[in-house]
């Protein structure tokens, strides 16, 4: 979502320039949405409305020898979507559905489209059909993600037996450093297909994406409160019973023995297509903010409220795609500060991967670590992922349990370092168990942790320069790792 200032600026620019819109006179600052800790000054913010304009931006930047950074909805938190003094391309106006093959369940969309618009469009197109298609997975926790940003981070949802998003991608078009649009798939330009998915915008501008849809299904949510020690077994049992989606939201009450040890286990089971969809209770943005406020102020009560709410929805029925939509308020940090005061702060996420049989033991040690570091966890979840055997910078190196922590981070050097220290501690616990972590959320990992988890990183950077020798596509994230690996 554009900030009010950006919106006014962009609207004015739309009026002034019929094609490419640029801010040339004043300083342009951009930031990530969730942590608000990546404030960056860019040379220009361009809002192209067509894929031809995208190509024109690349050609023009090449002529001027300027770097380009690419941003979608700005949810990454490691500076992947911005580069200081670059031309920053905001892709969100490229939001159309290009074609929908209802025979094969293939949908081609512009890369700036966000999940709600994609879902709305295909639902409208097949309203009266007996057999309908839907997305297999999207991120949980928010909806305002672009498809381009989702591909570039190779995201995942809460599927119980799913690989990351690459498994749902048929092809995409990429505007390369020469300004040419090329098609990448498993059969064409395969190396680029494997590099750009999960490649954080370093190989070109994704213009369009063709996504495999899956048959939409009706599902029943079944909720129970269980202990983390039973989780691996319960996940297995749910999979054996053909449940499709599920996660475990753990207690974040650090004063309780249940801290990371007890949680709300919600899973989704296919039901007969004739059953009605009945989901009377749902979490709206305000309810979500209320729960978040409780997590800041009274984590015991927050878990109780969350558990009661979820248990009360057990048995409700949903569609497989729309059940993945989530409430989220982009300005949650400010709203909470207005309500409860305190220092400027926000949440930084981390996602840690551990072999599934090491999950309980990891959670127990993670609880000790977070205790001793006095770290406040505002919410956290466990999900599953299957091995990704396609993308170059694959994070799902084996079937893992994925543990997500949202840490309260005070916006002071000390506050940020405190969260970074806990993230590094959690990564060490994962590495000790053959696990890993997600590159999307921060770049706090120590160099040796990056190399242990992503031994292919140096080769990834070499391949970036093979495809983009002039380093047209850059980000602060890229610059950081370029320097790190140059000195290693
Ligand atoms: C609250 C929250 C919940 C989240 N939940 C999940 C989750 O459940 N699962 C998960 O996997 N991730 C999750 N994420 C992470 C999120 O999926 C990624 O950060 C994703 O990249 C965000 O998409 P975006 O549109 O905001 O992209 P941005 O953050 O704007 O960009 C991300 C990357 O994509 C590149 N990019 C964007 N568009 C293009 C394009 N058209 N061409 C080439 N490169 C492009 C950018 O350069 C950048 O490197 C979550 C993040 C938040 C803040």
Does residue 188 share a domain with residue 42?
no
pLDDT value, residue 285: 85
Domain end marker among 215, 242, 268: 215
Does residue 174 share a domain with residue 274?
no
Mean pLDDT in residue range 83-96 = 98
Range of the domain at 177: 97-215
Does residue 266 share a domain with residue 149?
no
Does residue 114 share a domain with residue 81?
no
Rounded Cα gap, residues 200 and 474, in angstroms: 9
Rounded Cα gap, residues 78 and 67, in angstroms: 18
Does residue 56 share a domain with residue 30?
yes
Domain CATH code at residue 180: 3.30.465.10
Q: Where are the alpha helices (DSSP H) in 17-90?
A: 51-64
- pLDDT at residue 16 greater than cutoff 50: no
Rounded Cα gap, residues 94 and 97, in angstroms: 9
Domain count, the chain: 3
User: By alpha-carbon position, which residue is closest to atom 12 of ligand 1?
Assistant: 155
Mean pLDDT in residue range 270-279 = 95
Does residue 117 share a domain with residue 78?
no
Does residue 307 share a domain with residue 379?
yes
87 domain-assigned: yes
Domain CATH code at residue 251: 3.30.70.2520
Establish whether residue 350 lines the binding site of ligand 1, counting it when its CB lies within 6 angstroms of any ligand atom.
no
> Mind listing the pLDDT tens digit for each residue in 158-209?
999 999 999 999 999 999 999 999 999 999 999 999 999 999 999 999 999 9
Q: What is the mean pLDDT of the chain?
A: 94
Tell me how far the alpha carbon of residue 224 lies from the centroid of ligand 1, in angstroms: 31
Domain end marker among 75, 93, 111: 93
Which of 76, 135, 329 best tests ligand 1's pocket when mutated (most atoms within 8 Å of CB)? 76
262 domain-assigned: yes
Which of 79, 148, 380, 475 best tests ligand 1's pocket when mutated (most atoms within 8 Å of CB)? 148
- pLDDT at residue 119 greater than cutoff 70: yes
479 domain-assigned: no
- Burial of 176-193, coded b for 16+ CB within 10 Å and e otherwise, reads bbebebeebeeeebeebb
Tell me how far the alpha carbon of residue 323 lies from the centroid of ligand 1, in angstroms: 20
**CA nearest 404: which of 291, 225, 283, 260?**
260
How buried is 26 (Cβ within 10 angstroms: 0-12 exposed, 13-18 middle, 19+ buried)? exposed
Q: How confident is the model at residue 18 (pLDDT cuts 50, 70, 90)?
A: very low
pLDDT value, residue 353: 98
pLDDT value, residue 279: 87
Comparing 5-14, 236-245, 283-292, 428-437, which segment has the lowest mean pLDDT?
Answer: 5-14
Residue of higher predicted confidence among 100 and 1:
100
pLDDT value, residue 487: 73
Does residue 202 share a domain with residue 226?
no
Does residue 69 share a domain with residue 35?
yes
Contacts of 326 (CB under 8 A, 6+ apart): 140, 141, 142, 143, 283
Q: Report residue 480 CA to chain centroid gap.
A: 20
Which of 54, 72, 141 best tests ligand 1's pocket when mutated (most atoms within 8 Å of CB)? 72
Comparing 217-221, 277-281, 361-365, which segment has the lowest mean pLDDT?
Answer: 277-281
330 domain-assigned: yes
For 127: left if phi > 0, alpha if psi spans -120 to 50, otherwise beta; the answer is alpha
Establish whether residue 145 lines the binding site of ligand 1, counting it when its CB lies within 6 angstroms of any ligand atom.
yes
Q: How confident is the model at residue 15 (pLDDT cuts 50, 70, 90)?
A: very low
- pLDDT at residue 1 greater than cutoff 50: no
> Mind listing the pLDDT tens digit for each residue in 369-378?
999 999 999 9
> Mind listing the pLDDT tens digit for each residue in 48-72?
999 999 999 999 999 999 999 999 9
Q: How confident is the model at residue 283 (pLDDT cuts 50, 70, 90)?
A: confident
Domain end marker among 63, 93, 123: 93
Mean pLDDT in residue range 132-151 = 97
Does residue 106 share a domain with residue 71?
no
Establish whether residue 152 lines the binding site of ligand 1, counting it when its CB lies within 6 angstroms of any ligand atom.
yes
- pLDDT at residue 10 greater than cutoff 80: no
486 domain-assigned: no
Mean pLDDT in residue range 105-127 = 98
Does residue 286 share a domain with residue 383?
yes
- pLDDT at residue 4 greater than cutoff 90: no
458 domain-assigned: no
- pLDDT at residue 110 greater than cutoff 50: yes
Establish whether residue 393 lines the binding site of ligand 1, counting it when its CB lies within 6 angstroms of any ligand atom.
no
Establish whether residue 74 lines the binding site of ligand 1, counting it when its CB lies within 6 angstroms of any ligand atom.
yes
- pLDDT at residue 11 greater than cutoff 80: no
pLDDT value, residue 405: 98
pLDDT value, residue 160: 98
467 domain-assigned: no
> Mind listing the pLDDT tens digit for each residue in 207-233?
999 999 999 999 999 999 999 999 999
User: By alpha-carbon position, which residue is closest to atom 4 of ligand 1?
Assistant: 141
Q: How confident is the model at residue 150 (pLDDT cuts 50, 70, 90)?
A: very high
461 domain-assigned: no
CA angle, corner 148, sides to 58 and 189, nearest 5? Answer: 70
Does residue 276 share a domain with residue 203?
no
pLDDT value, residue 488: 65
Domain CATH code at residue 50: 3.30.43.10
**Residue recorded with tokens 């999950």:** 359
pTM of the model: 0.94
């Amino acid at each position: 979502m554009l900030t009010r200032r950006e919106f006014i600026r962009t609207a004015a620019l739309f009026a002034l320039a019929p094609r490419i819109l640029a801010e040339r006179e004043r300083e342009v600052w951009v930031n990530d949405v969730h942590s608000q800790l990546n404030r960056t000054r860019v040379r220009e913010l361009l809002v192209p409305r067509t894929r031809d304009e995208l190509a024109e931006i690349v050609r023009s930047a090449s002529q001027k020898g300027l770097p380009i950074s690419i941003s979608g909805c700005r949810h990454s938190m490691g500076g992947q979507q911005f580069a200081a003094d670059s031309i920053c391309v905001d892709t969100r106006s490229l939001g159309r559905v290009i074609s929908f093959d209802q025979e094969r369940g293939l949908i081609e969309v512009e890369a700036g489209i966000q999940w709600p618009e994609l879902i709305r469009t295909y639902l409208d197109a097949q309203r009266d059909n007996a057999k309908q298609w839907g997305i297999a997975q999207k991120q949980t926790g928010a909806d305002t993600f672009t498809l381009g940003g989702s591909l570039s981070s190779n995201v995942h949802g809460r599927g119980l037996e799913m690989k990351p998003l690459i498994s749902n991608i048929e092809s995409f078009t990429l505007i390369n450093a020469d300004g040419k649009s090329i098609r990448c798939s498993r059969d064409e330009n395969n190396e680029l297909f494997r590099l750009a998915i999960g490649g954080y915008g370093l190989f070109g501008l994704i213009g369009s994406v063709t996504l495999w849809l899956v048959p939409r299904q009706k599902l029943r949510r079944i909720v129970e409160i269980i202990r983390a020690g039973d989780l691996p077994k319960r996940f297995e049992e749910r999979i054996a019973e053909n449940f499709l989606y599920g996660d475990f939201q753990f207690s974040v009450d650090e004063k309780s023995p249940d801290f990371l040890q007890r949680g709300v286990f919600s899973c989704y089971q296919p039901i007969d297509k004739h059953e009605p969809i009945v989901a009377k209770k749902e979490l709206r943005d305000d309810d979500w903010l209320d729960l978040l406020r409780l997590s800041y102020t009274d984590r015991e009560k927050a878990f109780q409220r969350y558990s009661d709410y979820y248990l009360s929805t057990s048995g409700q029925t949903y569609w497989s795609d729309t059940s993945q939509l989530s409430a989220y308020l982009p300005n949650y940090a400010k709203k909470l500060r207005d309500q409860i005061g305190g220092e400027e702060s926000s949440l930084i996420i981390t996602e840690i991967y551990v072999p599934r049989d090491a999950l309980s033991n990891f959670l127990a040690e993670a609880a000790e670590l977070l205790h001793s570091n006095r770290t406040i966890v505002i919410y956290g979840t466990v999900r599953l992922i299957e091995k990704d055997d396609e993308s170059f910078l694959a994070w799902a190196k084996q079937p893992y349990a994925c543990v997500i922590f949202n840490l309260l981070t005070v916006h002071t050097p000390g506050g940020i370092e405190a969260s970074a220290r806990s993230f590094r501690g959690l990564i060490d616990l994962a590495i000790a168990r053959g696990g890993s972590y997600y590159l999307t959320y921060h770049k706090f990992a120590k160099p040796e942790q990056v190399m242990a988890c992503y031994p292919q990183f140096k080769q990834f950077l070499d391949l970036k320069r093979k495809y983009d020798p002039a380093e047209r596509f850059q980000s602060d994230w890229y610059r950081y790792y370029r320097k790190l690996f140059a000195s290693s």
